[in-house]
Structure 1
Amino acid sequence: MKFFVPAAKDDIKAEQVYSALGQSLKAPITEKRIWKLQWRDNEIDLKCEIGKPLPPSYQTGKELVLAIFECENLYKICTLSRGGVKGEPILVDNNSQSSATYFSDNVNN
């Protein structure tokens, strides 16, 4: 899967939006970009994917996942109201019960 940000008109705009989100969330901006994330929370297996809604338990409705950032000990999942335009991102522990799948056009796959 090629890197994209939902609603970005082209690759340049996608990079601009991704960088702006990362800066506002104090997340590292790298060439290695997450496409999907799977994790376990309270004995429940969860997953999210760029361009698709979060699991219903997060109560974000049909908002799409805009970006997932890999930080030192956690992932930051961003939708419009959770880390995008307002609010805080969803935080997921980066541990043995989480697994990231990266976009195929990442330089450091």
Structure 2
Amino acid sequence: MKFFVPATKDNKEAENVYSILQKKIRQANYKPTDARVYSITFEDNGQELTETVGKSSPIAHENVVAIFETEDIYLICTTNRGILRGLPIAAGKWAITRAELFDAE
């Protein structure tokens, strides 16, 4: 899948929004890797969940805007969580059963 950020008009705007989100993640004392994550599947309370950029989050019930990988967890930014208010949804790496990256440029 080619890299994108939902609701952006072109690649330049997508890169700009992604950089802003990444900076916000760093300001919250997380250290995101350079991996550009498209989708993750993980176990949560015995249930398998998949969070995918551009699709509705099964947890937050709003659009997933970006997913960031850190050393121990993945951070799922939705329209509100991690962007407009509060912290992103966290998924521990130990619970991840599948991670799909955007295609390399």
TM-score by length of 2: 0.88
Tell me the distance in 2 between the aligned counterparts of 1:14 and 1:78. 14
Q: Gapped runs of 5+ residues in structure 2? A: none
Q: How does 1:49-60 map to 2 (within 5 A)?
A: 49-55=52-58, 58=59, 60=60
For the aligned residue pairs, the C-alpha RMSD in angstroms reads 1.3
User: How far does residue 38 in structure 1 lie from its aligned partner after superposition?
Assistant: 0.3
* Distance change (3 Å), C-alpha of 1:29 and 1:72: closer
Percent identity between the two aligned chains? 41
The 4+ residue runs of structure 1 with deviation greater than 6 A are: none
TM-score by length of 1: 0.85
Q: Is the 8 A contact 2:54 2:64 kept in 1?
A: yes
Q: Is the 8 A contact 1:19 1:29 kept in 2?
A: no
Alignment partner, residue 24 of structure 1 = 24
Tell me the distance in 1 between the aligned counterparts of 2:91 and 2:57. 13
1:47 is paired with a residue whose SS is strand
Alignment partner, residue 15 of structure 1 = 15
* Higher fraction of strand: 2
